[in-house]
């Protein structure tokens, strides 16, 4: 069985999304700018259909690492495509276009049932209505010996951390202040979650820190 982990980018003041999220700016004001370190890499462009014409180096290595050995993902509905309530005519297939960058099964936490949505490139979105434990169980079964990545958002990450099932995670700290928005680690300030730094990688655009959870 593989690991359960996540990889996320955070502002220097602790936010993973800025204030005022909306359809045109799902990461809120300034949120997309957190990911500049990633968007310019060859690894990111490859996974998003942009070929290999991009920056190499430490940031690129971090991006490529994040895809290695991943057999399934879990995400919240907001990460899939936002919205609330039922799915309507089910024509909305998420933020990620016809060929999402996952290429493996993705299990979406929601309160509203929906049939699986197969996409190009090997991604299929499965919709889970019976909680985080069920989603993780299904993701582990789909991943086999691969890892399960908790793709987000922050609330979903917090739930899995509190459940004690995360093995390791990486936080990429961008040198930016957002001043408001969605905090990554709200409500986790206690001694139950113990961490060990296992690696820190610096680049001009971000500092990438990997933690082991024990």
CA–CA distance, 63 with 172 (Å, rounded to integer): 11
Percent of the chain scoring above 70 in pLDDT: 98
pLDDT per residue as tens digits for the range 121-140: 999 999 999 999 999 999 99
Question: What pLDDT sits at residue 107?
Answer: 98
pLDDT of residue 26: 87
Q: What is the pLDDT of residues 140-168, one digit of tens each?
A: 999 999 999 999 999 999 999 999 999 99
With a cut of 90, say whether residue 38 has pLDDT above it.
Answer: yes
**3 state SS of 162:** helix
Measuring CA to CA, how many Å separate 26 from each of 19, 50, 73, 117, 161?
A: 10, 22, 20, 21, 24
As given in the structure block, the two tokens for residue 31 are: 């949120």
Tell me the pTM: 0.94
50 has a pLDDT exceeding 70: no
Q: What does the pLDDT read at residue 51?
A: 66
Let me know: does 150 contact 4? Beta carbons within 8 Å: yes
What is the predicted pLDDT for the residue at 53? 81
Write down the pLDDT at residue 200: 98
In the chain, where do the E strands start and end? 4-11, 15-17, 70-76, 105-109, 117-118, 124-128, 147-152, 168-174, 182-183, 195-202, 207-213
- Domains by residue range for the chain, with CATH: 4-82+97-213 (3.40.430.10)
């Amino acid at each position: 069985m593989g690991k359960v982990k996540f990889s996320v980018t955070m502002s220097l003041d602790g936010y993973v999304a800025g204030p005022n999220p909306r359809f045109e700016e799902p990461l809120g004001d300034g949120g997309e700018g957190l990911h500049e370190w990633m968007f310019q890499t060859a690894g990111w462009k490859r996974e998003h259909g942009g070929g290999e014409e991009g920056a190499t180096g430490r940031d690129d290595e971090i991006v490529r690492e994040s895809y290695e050995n991943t057999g399934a993902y879990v995400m919240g509905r907001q990460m899939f495509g936002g919205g609330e309530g039922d799915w309507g005519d089910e024509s909305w297939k998420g933020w990620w276009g016809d060929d999402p960058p996952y290429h493996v099964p993705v299990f979406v936490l929601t309160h509203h049932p929906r049939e699986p949505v197969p996409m190009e490139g090997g991604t299929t979105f499965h919709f889970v209505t019976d909680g985080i434990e069920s989603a993780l169980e299904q993701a582990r079964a789909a991943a086999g010996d691969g890892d399960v990545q908790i793709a987000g958002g922050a609330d979903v990450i917090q739930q899995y951390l509190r459940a004690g099932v995360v093995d390791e995670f990486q936080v990429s700290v961008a040198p930016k202040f957002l001043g408001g928005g969605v905090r990554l680690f709200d409500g986790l300030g206690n001694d139950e979650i113990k961490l060990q730094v296992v690696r820190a990688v610096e680049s001009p655009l971000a500092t990438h820190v990997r933690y082991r959870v024990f």
